[in-house]
């Protein structure tokens, strides 16, 4: 059975890419809610409603587990939908928070994400449950999403927007920052250049794929390929079969996905 992954749109492909890399033998069904993106400016009630609908759809594809790749939906809907669903559902917040707690030495962590993610304080609550001594500084960066979607990730326009949003973060004394939105890993090199290499950037997608691997193994439902050389796994190509569904604008999705 495949793993179901969903997101508000194209951004969750950064999580899908990590799962393909780290679990090359798993099959996947992806759903991108391109008709209703962005989730970052929607209410909690709507994000829960959308998540329920998507989970219902993914279950028709017989998925064995579901990953909510969207930070906004993970922050606002995971705790509700997890209780209602009879297969494992995981989000990206706990893995991202865990990685940040492990990475920080001075116990000052920055989190950037959508308005809804930052307002929910889910990252800071989760981090402080893991280590109450960590100080968390959040900053919503809503313009990053359209910048990436419109193809400006490598353009100098994004440098100005990064400066606008992250100037105070740069001065705050953090030593670790979570890229708490699916699109932000695509701005990683510019953000790193701006903040300086001494600030560690956490991509929750990477940690989520690692935790998914552990979860599937614990439950005994992982797909293990035949004769895989573990040393080659890093560079091994994904062997699984993948299905992608969107609620609108399939051509634009395809272009972005490529």
Q: What are the residues binding ligand DGN (CB under 6 A)?
A: 7-8, 11, 37-40, 70-72, 113-114, 117, 145, 181-183
Per the DSSP assignment, residues forming a β-bridge with 177 are 110, 201
Instruction: State which H helix or E strand residue 123 sits in.
Output: helix 122-130
117 and 72 Cβ atoms separated by less than 8 Å: yes
Q: Which is nearer to ligand DGN, 72 or 247 (CB)?
A: 72
Tell me, yes or no, if 141 is annotated catalytic. Answer: no
Report the distance separating Cα 40 and Cα 118, nearest Å.
Answer: 9
Q: Which is nearer to ligand DGN, 39 or 206 (CB)?
A: 39
Q: Which is nearer to ligand DGN, 182 or 222 (CB)?
A: 182
Burial class from Cβ neighbours inside 10 Å (0-12, 13-18, 19+) for residue 57 reads: middle
Q: Which is nearer to ligand DGN, 117 or 222 (CB)?
A: 117
For the CB of residue 46, give the shortest distance to ligand DGN in the complex, in Å. 12
Catalytic residue among 134, 181, 199, 216: 181
Catalytic residue among 29, 47, 69, 70: 70
For the CB of residue 8, give the shortest distance to ligand DGN in the complex, in Å. 3
Q: DSSP letters of 35-61?
A: TT---TTS-HHHHHHHHHHHHHHHHHT
Tell me, yes or no, if 181 is annotated catalytic. Answer: yes
For the CB of residue 197, give the shortest distance to ligand DGN in the complex, in Å. 25
Report the distance separating Cα 5 and Cα 90, nearest Å.
Answer: 10
For the CB of residue 139, give the shortest distance to ligand DGN in the complex, in Å. 14
Positions marked catalytic: 70, 181
């Amino acid at each position: 059975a495949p793993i179901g992954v969903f997101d508000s749109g194209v951004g969750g492909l950064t999580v899908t890419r990590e799962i393909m890399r780290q679990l090359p033998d798993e099959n996947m069904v992806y759903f991108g809610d391109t008709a209703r993106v962005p989730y970052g400016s929607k209410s909690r009630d709507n994000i829960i409603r959308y998540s329920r609908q998507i989970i219902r759809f993914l279950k028709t594809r017989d998925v064995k587990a579901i990953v909510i790749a969207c930070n906004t939906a993970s922050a606002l809907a995971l705790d509700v939908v997890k209780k209602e669903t009879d297969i494992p559902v995981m989000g990206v917040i706990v893995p991202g928070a865990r990685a940040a707690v492990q990475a920080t030495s001075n116990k000052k962590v920055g989190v950037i994400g959508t308005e809804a993610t930052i307002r929910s304080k889910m990252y800071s609550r989760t981090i402080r449950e893991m280590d109450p001594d960590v100080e968390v500084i959040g900053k919503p960066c809503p313009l990053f999403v359209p910048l990436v979607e419109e193809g400006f990730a490598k353009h100098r326009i994004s440098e100005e927007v990064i400066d606008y949003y992250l100037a105070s973060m740069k001065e705050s004394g953090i030593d670790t920052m979570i890229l708490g939105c699916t699109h932000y890993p695509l701005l990683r090199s510019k953000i790193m250049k701006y903040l300086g290499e001494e600030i560690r950037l956490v991509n929750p997608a990477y940690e989520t794929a690692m935790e998914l691997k552990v979860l599937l193994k614990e439950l005994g439902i992982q797909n293990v390929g035949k004769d895989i050389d573990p040393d080659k796994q890093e560079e091994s190509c994904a062997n699984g079969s993948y299905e992608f569904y969107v609620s609108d604008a399939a051509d634009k999705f395809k272009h972005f996905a490529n």
